Amino acid sequence: MGSFRFLTAGESHGPGLTIVVEGMPAGVPISEEHIAVDLRRRQGGYGRGGRMLIEEDYAYITAGVTRGVTTGAPIALTIENKDYANWKDKVPPPITVPRPGHADLSGALKYQLDDMRLVLERSSARETTSRVAAAGIAKALLGELGVHVAGHVVAIGGVQAPVSTLPWAELFDRAEESEVRCEDTEASRRMIERIDEAKANRDTLGGVVEIVAWGLAPGVGSFVHWDRKLDGRLAGAVMSINAIKGVEIGDGFGAAARPGTQVQDAIRMREGRLIRATNRAGGTEGGVTNGEPIVVRAAMKPISTTLTPQPSVDVKTGLETVMEYQRSDICAVPAAAVVVEAMVAIVLADTYLEKFAGDNIAETRANMEHFLSSIGWTALV
């Protein structure tokens, strides 16, 4: 990692979030309104809690973009926490009973903090807002190079959407119309029902999201060393998202149960073009893109905070008790699809810049086109 870098700072109930993105070539059009579309997508979804009714996430660009175009300088973004107004004059009581499943206990032990609120403030999934904003920049770069990245929900609380045969672009358009970001109408209805049940039972739900990137060049990533492999970088980036507990690429865990003759993608020649009969590998072989769409799925555990109290210990008294409820969501899987999509876009922007570099986007594009024509690649869509 290093060609496209970003850092985030900010507390969930502090004044705001700050993002610095570095490594973008000059000449890429960037618009705050465009970034705002994904920020809005992240805020939505059936099952979200009260916080999203307060916020209207919007990233202001304060550096690195002049007259709507990148200059090559680091790009800075800031997002206001509207909820800050409700917190700034309050001194909330310290949290001394950790919520199981969150960073509360391990974070407080690590930093030797008496008040677990200080852990919660930074470990909150509010931080994923910053990642989606950074990904808005990554997506602008990928768009210039013909790459599309999109995400949808394939399961919530055990309700599984049937495998779709729609072309990717159509599938993702349909998913955006669903309150749970799921393309299948019947599955969406059952997922919503399941979320209502979880709410009534004072519980929470997880699920599975699927992200697809298409329009890819082959040869991006590396097979020569472990930390340069694209599949490893994707899995690490996706796993770093709050509540993500499993990642698979292509057939993933399913492939483990089948014999070797049934997990490969036959290489064929059609009208002078190399094609693959299937895409079981999910777009990477040996840690390198093969030109097929990248397909990444991520499993999100249910949000750890439940309205049903869970056993814990007051670390101040050493007595067993139950955790304190902190405002939360019943289900954030539709939002997670947007966040996983963001991390996939960021990793792809990084690996694309590593392969095609260039200080100006014209140079980056020319590098890519030169490479594709020198290998006789015509499958780029």
Query: CA torsion 343→344→345→350, rounded to 10°?
Result: 90
Q: At what angle do helices 361-374 and 333-356 cross, to 10 degrees?
A: 80
Q: Are 149 and 41 in contact (CB under 8 A)?
A: no
Query: At its nearest, how many Å lie between ligand EPS and the CB of residue 232?
Result: 26
Q: Which is nearer to ligand EPS, 164 or 326 (CB)?
A: 326
Query: At its nearest, how many Å lie between ligand EPS and the CB of residue 57?
Result: 8
The dihedrals phi and psi of 194, each to the nearest 5 degrees, come to -65, -35
Of the candidates 284, 287, 283, 294, the residue with the CA atom closest to the CA atom of residue 343: 294
Q: Which is nearer to ligand EPS, 38 or 285 (CB)?
A: 38
Q: How far apart are CA 364 and CA 353, in angstroms?
A: 8
Q: How far apart are CA 78 and CA 8, in angstroms?
A: 10
Our finding on whether 81 is near ligand EPS (CB under 6 A) is no
Our finding on whether 327 is near ligand EPS (CB under 6 A) is yes
Our finding on whether 204 is near ligand EPS (CB under 6 A) is no
How many amino acids of this chain bind ligand EPS (CB under 6 A)?
A: 15
Distances (CA, A) of 153 to 62, 87, 143, 222: 33, 33, 23, 29
Site for ligand EPS in 304-323 (CB under 6 A): 305
Query: At its nearest, how many Å lie between ligand EPS and the CB of residue 185?
Result: 26
Interface region with ligand EPS, contact rule CB under 6 A, candidates 111-119, 126-134, 185-193, 258-266? 126-134
> 251: which 2 tokens?
């057939």
Q: How far apart are CA 345 and CA 212, in angstroms?
A: 10
Query: At its nearest, how many Å lie between ligand EPS and the CB of residue 139?
Result: 19
Our finding on whether 49 is near ligand EPS (CB under 6 A) is yes
Query: At its nearest, how many Å lie between ligand EPS and the CB of residue 87?
Result: 9
Query: At its nearest, how many Å lie between ligand EPS and the CB of residue 126?
Result: 4
Q: How far apart are CA 344 and CA 350, in angstroms?
A: 10
Q: Which is nearer to ligand EPS, 48 or 174 (CB)?
A: 48
> 312: which 2 tokens?
């814990």
Q: Find the binder of ligand EPS among 96, 129, 222, 351 (CB under 6 A).
A: 129
Q: How far apart are CA 11 and CA 111, in angstroms?
A: 16
Our finding on whether 51 is near ligand EPS (CB under 6 A) is yes
Q: Which is nearer to ligand EPS, 83 or 369 (CB)?
A: 83
In the complex, the residues that contact ligand EPS under the rule CB under 6 A are 12, 49, 51, 83, 124-126, 128-129, 242, 303, 305, 327-329
